[in-house]
């Protein structure tokens, strides 16, 4: 099972919006609504930001939103803030030989 494809890096200025894509296949992203997004600061554990494509856990700002179209899921951060600078990973249930796969990861830089 290959990793889901994410851009290696994205950047934006404070206040702007950015979108991170996560491309898979019909066996994972395109076939199920079990896509999650995780935020990770250097040296820290990942933190759940979005689950089941569009849902935010309690405490996650509504600046973070998720969506899906076909085999590509997306994480959008609006009103970008300096504290959003981190690595972001998508993950999805998959019907392949292993039941879960992560994305390749995206480094977000706030300019």
**Shortest approach of other proteins to residue 71 CB, angstroms?**
19
Residue 57 touches other proteins, criterion: CB under 8 A? yes
The Cα–Cα gap between 93 and 15 comes to: 33
For strands 106-110 and 9-12, give the pairing.
parallel
Residue 91 touches other proteins, criterion: CB under 8 A? yes
Among 13, 45, 62, 82, binds other proteins (CB under 8 A): 45
82: phi then psi, degrees, rounded to nearest 5? -55, -35
Give the binding range for other proteins (CB under 8 A) out of 10-18, 23-31, 32-40, 68-76: 32-40
The Cα–Cα gap between 21 and 43 comes to: 24
**Going by C-beta distance under 8 Å and a sequence separation of 6 or more, which residues neighbour residue 84?**
63, 77, 108, 110
Angle at 94 between CA 93 and CA 95, to 5 degrees: 135
Residue 47 touches other proteins, criterion: CB under 8 A? yes
Site for other proteins in 69-88 (CB under 8 A): none
Among 10, 21, 30, 48, binds other proteins (CB under 8 A): 48
Q: Which residues bind other proteins (CB under 8 A)?
A: 1, 3, 34, 36, 38, 40, 45-48, 51-52, 55, 57-58, 89, 91, 93, 97-105
């Amino acid at each position: 099972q290959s990793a889901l494809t994410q851009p290696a890096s994205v950047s934006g200025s404070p206040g702007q919006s950015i979108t991170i894509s996560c491309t898979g296949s019909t066996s994972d992203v395109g076939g199920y609504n079990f896509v999650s997004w995780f935020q990770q600061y250097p040296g820290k554990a990942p933190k759940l930001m979005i689950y089941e494509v569009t849902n935010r856990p309690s405490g996650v700002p509504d600046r973070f939103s998720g969506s899906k179209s076909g085999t590509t899921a997306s994480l959008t951060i609006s009103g970008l803030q300096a504290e959003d600078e981190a690595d972001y990973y998508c993950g999805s249930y998959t019907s392949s030989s292993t039941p879960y796969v992560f994305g390749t990861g995206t480094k977000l830089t706030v300019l």
